[in-house]
Amino acid sequence: MTPLIRLSFLIVLSLASWGCGTFSVLRPADNLRAGQVELSGGAAFNSLPEAVFVGQANVGITDWLELGGQYEIYSAVGWTRFGLLNTDNHGIAVALTVGGGAAQIWDSLNTDEWSDFEGAVFGGVTLGRHFGVIEPYVGYRIFYFPGLETTIQTIKGGLRFTGWETVFLGVEGGATVHHALLTLGEGALVVGLKLGGG
């Protein structure tokens, strides 16, 4: 295990039971190729300040279709992602994401307390491109919680560094807007592996 992976593992363990969930994107705009698998984990944090473990898994079904999932202490979501454009063929990458899951959120509209785990559906778009070993991206997602009749919108910008054979390092920052009443700055730092495929 490399020192970078060991350090990330220790940070993740120390944050695994502290804080509330964020709505991290963590994926650049270029979809995985068919057969590729990507696993990542690290720390997500917000301006309250709080920090939580975040883990994500993605698999390339075709070169334009990807399935993924993400777990944070107070949320779990899964999605299908459609790669509309990719850097190699179009000079820019664009991906659309649709998914669902559940999260526990601060319900300032109804009770001014933590909600139970509430079901949510979401959609989003990610734009970016890769420049050799650096992949910048910006992502937008909107989550709708029908049980609470509320939305959460998130916009994040990130950089991924892929200068190692299968290991990558990702950083991300941005904000979430909770039903137009609460805006939180958020960020994440993850380390991951990309395996298989072309």
Stretches in the chain below the pLDDT threshold 70: 1-22, 106-115, 180, 197-198
Which structure tokens are listed for 174? 């941005």
Structure tokens at 180: 């137009």
CATH of the domain at 49: 2.40.160
User: What is the structure's pLDDT at 74?
Assistant: 83
Range of the domain at 99: 3-195
Eight-state DSSP code of residue 108 = T
Predicted pLDDT at 3: 57
Q: Which has the closest alpha carbon to 30: 71, 72, 60, 70?
A: 60
> pLDDT tens digits, residue range 36-71?
999 999 999 888 788 889 999 999 999 999 999 999
* SS3 label, residue 68: strand
Please give the pLDDT value at position 176. Answer: 87
Q: In one letter, which amino acid is 113? A: E
Tell me, what's the pLDDT at 47?
Answer: 81
Give me the pLDDT at residue 183, please: 81
- What lies within 8 Å, CB to CB, of 89 at 6+ separation is none
Give the model's pLDDT for residue 182.
73
Looking at this protein, which amino acid is placed at residue 96?
L
Number of domains making up the chain:
1
Handedness of CA 67, 123, 127, 55 (dihedral sign): negative
